[in-house]
Structure 1
Amino acid sequence: MVKSREWSRKTREDVITLHRKGNDYKKIAKMLNIPRETIGSIIRKFKAKGTVEMLPGCGRKKMLQTSTVVRYLKRRVEKSPRVTAEELRKDLSDVGTEVSAQTIRRTLRNEGLHARTPRRTPLLSPKNTKSRLQYAKSHVDKPQKFWDSVLWTDETKLELFGPMDQRYVWRRKNKAYEEKNTLPTVNHGGGSIMLWGCFASAGTGKLQRLQGTMNSLQYQEILDDNVMQSVTNLRLGRRWTFQQDNDPKHTSTSIRAWLQIKGWNILEWPSQSPDLNPIENLWWDLKKAVAVRKPKNVTELEAFAHDEWAKIPVDRCKTLVSSYASRLKAVITVEGCCTKY
């Protein structure tokens, strides 16, 4: 039954005042523009309880009334986030508290704890964690001018029908498999391309498609064709710094020797640290922008990628680099573990 409207205290007091003056229900209802049934209800309540105040309801009480049980649930999920509501229900049942799994979910939600899909992060070994922390501490006080002169680089994969092409659909029950409500899938994303790209605080640099499986020799050719041109276009100056991750192709003996000959200043890099490379944010932007254009084949996929890469605003690049110290501070705060970046 839907709860009826609660009239203000003044309105209820006016009803009682008019009733005491000898007015009948019909007349009071007309004077106050209130249904006659409501007038009767207010007067009967006053006669029975001697007040016009709203009284506590008599609805169903909470199944989990004790703060001890609620504290137990909170401690349990904070210590073991993967525990299920059904497992918690069994735990409470073993000690004599019978509640449903749904009641447990509702209680935890009321306490600000919600079931969510866990974020995917790189698997960090103790060595990785130590290396990340050391990197953050040794670079956190670098001046902004240094970060503005870094050329950030990386590779990424774009799929023709990748995860960025997913959408929600509005549908009725039992209509999930109607053609208009489905998202066709194909093996291996229906075709894909690998891209190498770079950027700096001043904007995006060169973007190049990789052909076949990249090895150290192809990587060397990509750097030779793109890095110095990007450095010039972005006006990084003579004291610029080159960043790359620790992919084996990037750190092979031949590449290290080649980089030494080039004389580039190389930014030391901790393994398993995509959250420390701001180009990952630009890859996300690029994939979203390309997905919106719905390329029909790999040729369009590559063309759209180059087009959207060039459209990325300089302000976006500048913001990512200017906030780099925040990434380092976040790593220090979590003692080398993964961060939200």
Structure 2
Amino acid sequence: MITRTVSKDPRTTRGDLVNDLQRAGTKVTKATISNTLRRQGLKSCSARRIPLLKPVHVQARLKFAREHLDDPEEDWENVISSDETKIELFGKNLTRRVWRRKNAELHPKNTIPTVKHGGGNIMLWGCFSAKGPGRLIRVKERMNGAMYREILSDNLLPSARALKMKRGWVFQHDNDPKHTARATKEWLRKKHFKVLEWPSQSPDLYPIENLWRELKVCVAQRQPQHITALEEICMEDWAKIPATMKSA
């Protein structure tokens, strides 16, 4: 019954199972339930967060996957991806264990500083390819379409040259309204950029998301104390991430 119940509804809790079995006349503990499910190869894990997909999104993702299923690796090595992300000050502190004596839990060496509401944040734009990182810049104002096009003009082409991208390289960005605006599309067309068509609601397919996650973990481990340090650490750690990490 236990295995059948959780197979039908994986969100069933151990407490739910204890209550269901008690109503059926069987008394068990949560530990017994855990052991029983573990013997069946089932363990409790955090549910993964994934995009909420409508049928049209599913079809677009499937179409994209089929169209690129047999693309040679060399084609993907000729793609530059760009994106924006927000990095919080104190916002990604990792849980860390410390060796300490009794009643020393508040000693500065044994604590991780936190502040209300995250302590501030910075917005970054960056790009990368399989050959390594392109430029990373801080966006200090609210980004609109005009600013986005200026960022691409000032940073994307220099990044492509620095990375020694092959002729005919492909640009990839997501479907943010600033990216898909008519003026942006026209600007890209006039610059003769070849843009990779990208399915909506597909951050899990977007390779730069892995890079942002890696950057945020590295920054959190260094625990910057103010915004200036946060920006400096982001720039330093971005430059340190190897090309193999970005193409993973």
Q: Is the structural similarity TM-score above 0.5?
A: yes
Partner amino acid, structure 1, of 2:80: L
Aligned counterpart in structure 2 of residue 310 of structure 1, from 239, 243, 246 = 239
Larger-Rg structure: 1
Q: For 2:24, give the aligned amino acid.
A: V
Cα deviation for residue 82 of structure 1 reads 0.9
Whether 2:132 is the aligned partner of 1:203: answer yes
Report the 3-state secondary structure (helix = DSSP H, G, I; strand = E; otherwise coil) of the residue aligned with 2:60. Answer: helix
Instruction: Name the SS for the 2:133 alignment partner.
Output: strand
1:101: Cα distance to partner? 2.9
> Does structure 1 residue 161 correspond to structure 2 residue 90?
yes
Say which SS state the counterpart of residue 286 (structure 1) adopts: helix
**Corresponding residue of 2:169:** 240
Q: Structure 1's 228 and 168: CA in aligned 2 closer, same or farther, altered over 3 A?
A: same
Is the aligned partner of 1:192 residue 2:149? no
Q: Distance in 2 between matches of 1:235 and 1:144?
A: 17
Identity %: 49
Specify the alignment match of 1:115 in structure 2. 44
Task: Find the aligned partners of 2:96 and 2:57 in 1 and give their Cα distance.
Answer: 36
Greater relative CO (CA pairs within 8 A, separation 6+):
2
The residue aligned with 1:214 is: 143
Among candidates 55, 58, 72, match of residue 129 of structure 1: 58
2:137 match: secondary structure = strand
Query: How has the CA–CA distance of structure 1 residues 125 and 176 changed in structure 2, closer, same or farther, with 3 Å as cutoff?
Result: farther
Structure 2: 5+ residue runs without aligned partners? none
Task: Provide the secondary structure at the position in 2 that maps to 1:268.
Answer: coil
Distance 1:179 1:101, change over 3 A: same
How far does the alpha carbon of each residue in 1:265-315 deviate from its partner, in whole angstroms, 9 at most, with x for none? Answer: 110101121121211121122122222332221111111111111111123
Aligned to 1:279: 208
Alpha-carbon shift at residue 98 of structure 1 (Å) = 2.4
Q: CA deviation at 1:166?
A: 3.6
Residues 162, 126 of structure 1: alpha-carbon distance in 2 compared, 3 angstrom cutoff: same
Q: How does 1:1-341 map to 2 (within 5 A)?
A: 72-169=1-98, 178=106, 183-318=112-247, 320=248
* Alignment-mate amino acid for residue 105 of structure 1: S
Aligned length: 247
CA contact (8 A) 1:176 1:182 kept: no
Does structure 2 conserve the Cα–Cα contact (< 8 Å) formed by 1:242 and 1:267?
A: yes
Alpha carbons of 1:176 and 1:212: their partners in 2 closer, same or farther (altered >3 Å)?
farther
Is the contact between residue 164 and residue 287 of structure 1 (CA under 8 Å) also seen in structure 2? no
What's the offset of the Cα at 1:134? 1.1
Distance in 1, Cα, partners of 2:174 & 2:117: 25
- Kindly state the Cα deviation for residue 237 of structure 1 after the two structures are TM-superposed: 1.9
Aligned amino acid, residue 148 of structure 2: Y
Quote the offset at 1:171 in angstroms.
Answer: 7.0
The alpha-carbon deviation at position 77 of structure 1 amounts to 0.8
Shift of 1:75: 2.0
Deviation per CA, 1:144-174: give whole Å up to 9, x if none.
111010001111111120124442356799x
C-alpha displacement at 1:111, in angstroms? 2.0
Runs of 4+ that moved beyond 3 A: 168-173, 175-184
Contact 2:210 2:246 (8 Å CA) reproduced: no
- Rounded to whole Å, the distance in 2 between the matches of 1:147 and 1:80 is 39
Aligned residue type for 2:97: Y
Looking at structure 2, the residues matched to 99 and 176 of structure 1 have their Cα atoms a distance apart, in angstroms, of: 40
Structure 1 regions of 5+ residues with no counterpart?
Answer: 1-71, 321-341
1:38-95 CA-to-partner distances (Å, cap 9, x unmatched) read xxxxxxxxxxxxxxxxxxxxxxxxxxxxxxxxxx211211221111112112222333
Distance in 2 between residues matched to 1:82 and 1:176, nearest whole Å: 39
Query: What is the DSSP-based 3-state SS (H/G/I as helix, E as strand, rest coil) of the residue aligned with 2:239?
Result: helix
TM-score, normalised via structure 2 length: 0.91
Aligned to 2:146, the other structure's residue is in SS state helix
Q: After alignment, is 78-87 or 106-115 more displaced?
A: 106-115
SS at match of 1:250: helix
Partner Cα separation in structure 2 for residue 269 and residue 300 of structure 1: 35
- How large is the RMSD of aligned CA atoms in angstroms? 2.2
